[in-house]
Chain A
Amino acid sequence: MKKIPAVAALSALLLQPLAGWSFEARRAIDLETYSRISNWPGSGLLLAQAPSASAAAGDQLSLDELGLVGKPAAADPALQALLERRTRMLQRHQRLGLAAAVPLLAALLTGNSAKSSPSGRGLHAGLGSAATVLYLATAYHSIRAPNIPGAGPKKGATRIHRALAFVHYPAMLLTTAAGFSAKRQVERGRDAHSLGKQHPTIATTAAVSFLLAMGVMVINF
């Protein structure tokens, strides 16, 4: 056994508290010698007295030590860009949705006047058309907002919001079709029938589910 390196390493181990131990200093010791010392009888005590590698590292606690390396800890600018695009689109979705709610409510309130006078019908049709256009723009921004990879299933109020979309989206499309049908029938001097007759019911379903979808995003349950 070469005694000189062993003694040097042992001295380094023992004197490290005085000299200011560093991880680099420890690494500087010939690893072969170090392992030889650790195999000496009774060396467990010596090694136990020496600070652990991590303790010796002092403030060098790092994410690597925690196993937070690789993909979970790596910056992903593409993901950030996707998230920002998604947020932009959903903010527009939110604003357009609020804007759509105004003509939608107004159209509901003018529904009765549409039955009695041509001007009332015109106003109701105009409000309904505005609501439909804004609604479709709202839906577009929601549908086109990018999905985030690995985001998992929809949870919480978002899930209810999305479920309600399956009600108000077809209902809104049907409302428009039924509204045109009813208008044409009334303008021809006939009573609204078939799909046109269902216009108030379908429109109310669309409006209620749409407002409910807005509400779940605002109110805590």
Chain B
Amino acid sequence: MRPIPAAVLAAFCSLAGLSAAASDWILERSELTYTVTHPLHTVRGSSRQARGKGICDAAGCRFLVAAPVKSFDSGDSNRDLHMLEATRGGKFPVVSVRGTLKRLPERADKAFEAEVSVEFAGRTAVYPRVRFEIVETSSATARVHGVLPCGLKEYEIKPPSLLWIPIRDHIPVSVDTFWRLQETPTAAKPPN
């Protein structure tokens, strides 16, 4: 039997090692908050019902966070229903945020940038460089916070108005997420 060339063996071992670094992350808790600005009001609506999953491997990280549109609570039931209507929440009941990191954040990193695509109201908008801060981290958990610079035009949403004055187009969405490393990725189920 011919011996396996050392270079092939080394390459194989390194690839195996990389795949060993693959890890699944589950969104344990989160708060997504949009801010609407009107000359007479500044309104914040939050959802804590988001679910999410992240996968990190040698190629980087990919994550998906999604929440029902109707789970956003601004403190006023009429406004929430109007938001649901304006954002076509009946036809598109889920808002989903997909992120991609080309490079794994180092343990010492306090922040990183990711390409984020948001699917909302039946449209998809891509934000190529969204900055996320790593608020706190441990070996198996990470709290990550970022703000998505969303705008109504990107989703073809007609700005709702009050007294004939429309709200501002810019609707920043704060994403505060707490992730936990999944211990047995293949066996675990998403949280209820």
Closest B residue to A214 using CB positions: B163
Closest A residue to B43 using CB positions: A220
- B166 proximal to A (CB < 8 A): no
User: A51 contacts B22, CB within 8 Å?
Assistant: yes
Residues of A within 8 A of B42 (CB): 220
Please give the distance in Å from B101's CB to the nearest CB on chain A.
Answer: 13
Partner of A53, one of B23, B74, B185: B185
Residues of B within 8 A of A81 (CB): 90
> Of residues 88 to 102 in B, which have CB atoms within 8 Å of A's CB atoms?
88-94, 96, 98
User: B77 contacts A156, CB within 8 Å?
Assistant: yes
The complex places the Cα of A17 from the Cα of B191 at a distance, in Å, of 29
Q: Which of B11-19, B108-116, B132-140 contacts A (4 or more CB under 8 A)?
A: B11-19
Q: Does more than half of chain B's interface fall in helix, strand or loop, or is it mixed?
A: mixed
Closest A residue to B73 using CB positions: A155
- B128 proximal to A (CB < 8 A): no
User: A67 contacts B89, CB within 8 Å?
Assistant: no
User: B53 contacts A61, CB within 8 Å?
Assistant: yes
- A154 proximal to B (CB < 8 A): yes
- A112 proximal to B (CB < 8 A): no
- B63 proximal to A (CB < 8 A): yes
Residues of B within 8 A of A32 (CB): none
Residues of A within 8 A of B55 (CB): 52, 54-55, 57-58, 61
The complex places the Cα of A65 from the Cα of B82 at a distance, in Å, of 30
Residues of B within 8 A of A53 (CB): 185-186
Q: How many residues belonging to B are interface residues under a CB distance threshold of 8 Å?
A: 50
Closest B residue to A18 using CB positions: B15
The complex places the Cα of A173 from the Cα of B49 at a distance, in Å, of 45
User: A66 contacts B185, CB within 8 Å?
Assistant: no
The complex places the Cα of A148 from the Cα of B189 at a distance, in Å, of 32
Partner of A68, one of B51, B79, B84, B163: B51
Proximity string of chain B (66-96) to chain A, C-beta cutoff 8 Å, 1 when within and 0 when not: 1010000011111101101110111111101
A contact residues, range: 35 or more
> Of residues 1 to 55 in B, which have CB atoms within 8 Å of A's CB atoms?
12, 15-16, 18-20, 22-24, 40-42, 51-53, 55
- A1 proximal to B (CB < 8 A): no
Residues of B within 8 A of A219 (CB): 40
- A25 proximal to B (CB < 8 A): no
Chain B residues proximal to chain A, CB less than 8 Å:
12, 15-16, 18-20, 22-24, 40-42, 51-53, 55, 57, 62-64, 66, 68, 74-79, 81-82, 84-86, 88-94, 96, 98, 162-163, 185-186, 189-192
A-B contact pairs, 23 of them (CB 8 A): A17-B16, A18-B15, A48-B20, A49-B19, A49-B20, A54-B53, A54-B55, A63-B64, A63-B94, A65-B64, A66-B51, A74-B93, A75-B90, A75-B92, A76-B90, A77-B90, A80-B89, A86-B81, A90-B82, A152-B77, A155-B76, A156-B78, A218-B163
